[in-house]
């Protein structure tokens, strides 16, 4: 079963819908990990985003009417780049967020091209989702972890 989580040092009581897209490498938004991939990546690679000994894990669900661009193959990645060319502003007018799935498979194929102009993609790190229209998601539960 696929679940999406948001990890943070602070408990999130209410989602804020104030993400404005800009012309920059990665889209701006509320980032979600597919299952525990972000936490595992942080444990294995070091992570300064949050304290892995004292953190909150927020389980996120999508509302039925959310519009997500699904980037789950090299073809869908190239379509994203061709149609929007990192213009997250245009993309945000059509979609509420993006799902990046099969990240490692796509990354391996992009690495084969030494002149790959899509270096921003490597900063995603794991299978995940970014949502800029947080009116389309909700928190189903929050768990606080403290390791001594």
Write out residues in the chain with pLDDT < 50, as ranges. none
Q: What is the pTM of this model?
A: 0.89
- C-alpha to C-alpha distance for 66 and 133, rounded to whole angstroms: 9
Contacts of 96 (CB under 8 A, 6+ apart): 66, 67, 68, 131, 132, 133, 136
- At residue 115, the pLDDT reads 66
- At residue 120, the pLDDT reads 79
What φ, ψ does residue 120 adopt, rounded to 5°?
Answer: -55, -30
């Amino acid at each position: 079963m696929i679940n999406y989580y948001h990890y943070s040092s602070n408990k999130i009581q209410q989602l804020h819908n104030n993400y404005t897209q800009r012309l920059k490498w990665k889209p701006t938004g509320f980032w979600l990990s597919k299952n525990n991939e972000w936490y595992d990546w942080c444990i294995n690679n070091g992570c300064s985003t949050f304290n892995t000994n004292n953190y909150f894990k927020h389980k996120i669900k999508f509302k039925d009417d959310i519009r997500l661009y699904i980037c789950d193959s090299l073809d869908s990645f190239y379509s994203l780049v061709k149609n929007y060319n990192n213009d997250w502003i245009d993309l945000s007018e059509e979609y509420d967020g993006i799902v990046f799935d099969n990240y490692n498979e796509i990354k391996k194929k992009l690495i084969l091209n030494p002149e790959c102009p899509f270096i921003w993609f490597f900063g995603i790190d794991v299978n995940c989702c970014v949502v800029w229209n947080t009116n389309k998601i909700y928190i189903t539960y929050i768990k606080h972890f403290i390791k001594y």
